[in-house]
Amino acid sequence: MVCTRKILLLGSGFVAAPCVEYLARKPENKITIASRRLENAQALSKKFPGTVAVSCDITDEQAIEDLVAQHDVAISLIPYIYHAKVIKAAVKHKKNVVTTSYVSPAMMEYDQAAKDAGITVMNEIGLDPGIDHLYAVKTIEEVHREGGKLKEFISFCGGLPAPEDSNNPFGYKFSWSARGVLLALKNTAKYLENGKVVEVSGTALMDSAKKLNTGYPGFAFVGYGNRDSTPYDKRYNIPEAETIIRGTIRYDGFCQFVKALVILGFLSEEEEAHLSANAPEITWREVIAKVVGTNETSAEALQAAIIAKCDLDNNDHKAQILDGMRWVGFFSDVAVTRRGSLLDTFCATLEEKMQYGENERDLVFLQHRFEIELKDGTHQTRTSTLLEYGKVGGYSAMATTVGVPCGIATQLVLDGKLTATGVLAPMSSEINEPIIELLEKEGIGMVEKIL
């Protein structure tokens, strides 16, 4: 007799559907989908007969606790700041948890309590983080078993429009908050390069971008550092590595355009009186005149002022940047959607103009590059590459590569095949190998090469 398994899914966002689809294949899995807005949970539930939709306010600890207590495992796809509340409830009621988020200090505080409760709290099992960990650890453990050393680990990942749909000046489209994407550009990157720790402040991040040699010349990719890569000497057990860089991929031209926007102040969250919701209507042309400090509002005068302020005469991407600003509407008489700050006013326009169209698709590209010293002292370069396209009318590549690994990890926990306790991430072959095996059965995996 097959035991019924009760699964709680907190969150019904765009990565949830592939996760539910994977778990719903087994009739013994009874899935409850919880969302702040009941209609969102119901919309997802309707696609999968046998699932149940409920409403849950994630700020209500008692409501979360009551739901967690009724299920065998809780999948938390809500904003990461709330995961600790879910883990707290899971520890109390001895229930397992799965998230796709990085382990935060607040989550790690429950590590010992989770071990004492005998529960698995599996995290970082989507994409970036997730699939990247699985194949990084796989190769690193292989190299170490063979007596080799890892000298360099360089990894870049990006979720982008497919080339034919990268039809705007950013070469980018939003599947999540435009504000979140832009504010991430202000983060400081920290990494290890040739034995030295390098820090790149937010303002210099776009200048640090380099063209990537991926072995796929059809893609004009550039990459820049993503947050702090320095803990990965310990996380990946590579104390011998002299270079450790994890970064973000964009299409060429993105960084130059963003840099010009940064110089003009478009990442500023400061409130501006003329952009407040109750201020008089104002056109983009008038906003840009204030930004560059001129009374002239002709397109020619505004372009000249931007060229001077951003030093574009010496920039190879000058025409592309100005075309982009024209596309956004900077030189037009279109009234802006006033949201208080330059950043939020700009985001209102981007959200309108940079969504995926009905027949457009995204792609995910992830590549690890390993520079290795073999046991005999010779040098070897290996790569692991994931290239996944979204399906028109189906799931996006990002939803698939986040949702499916999450579903697989959840099933392994339910089946008693993932039994390590505590607050975990996929950092060992014991955890990773069963996940990789099932992931590759779904047609998702990284292609490994020795160059």
Distances in Å between the Cα of 290 and the Cα atoms of 179, 272, 283, 294, 340 are: 22, 11, 11, 6, 15
Which tokens belong to 169? 């000046």
Gap between the Cα atoms of 12 and 32, Å rounded: 11
CB 22 within 8 A of CB 403: yes
CA-closest candidate to residue 291, choices 345, 351, 253: 345
- Checking DSSP bridges between strand 243-251 and strand 149-161, what pairing results, if any? parallel
| 128 is known as an active-site residue | yes
Cis before 18 (ω within 30) = no
CB neighbours of residue 47 within 10 Å: 11
CB 385 within 8 A of CB 367: yes
Distances in Å between the Cα of 295 and the Cα atoms of 245, 311, 397 are: 46, 20, 46
Gap between the Cα atoms of 158 and 398, Å rounded: 9
Strand segments (E) across 162-242: 189-193, 196-200, 210-211, 221-225
CA atoms within 13 A on the CB side of 212: 30
SS3 174: coil
Q: Biggest alpha carbon distance in the chain?
A: 79
Which tokens belong to 219? 């893609």
CB neighbours of residue 391 within 10 Å: 11
Which tokens belong to 185? 């550009």
CB 242 within 8 A of CB 296: no
DSSP secondary-structure letter at 103? Answer: P
DSSP secondary-structure letter at 80? Answer: G
Gap between the Cα atoms of 411 and 347, Å rounded: 38
**Which amino acid type is present at position 117?**
A
Q: Cite the DSSP H helix spans in 58-166.
A: 61-69, 83-93, 105-108, 111-117, 131-145
Residue in the structure block whose two tokens are 């993932």:
418
Catalytic residue among 116, 128, 233, 415: 128
| Residues acting as catalytic residues | 128
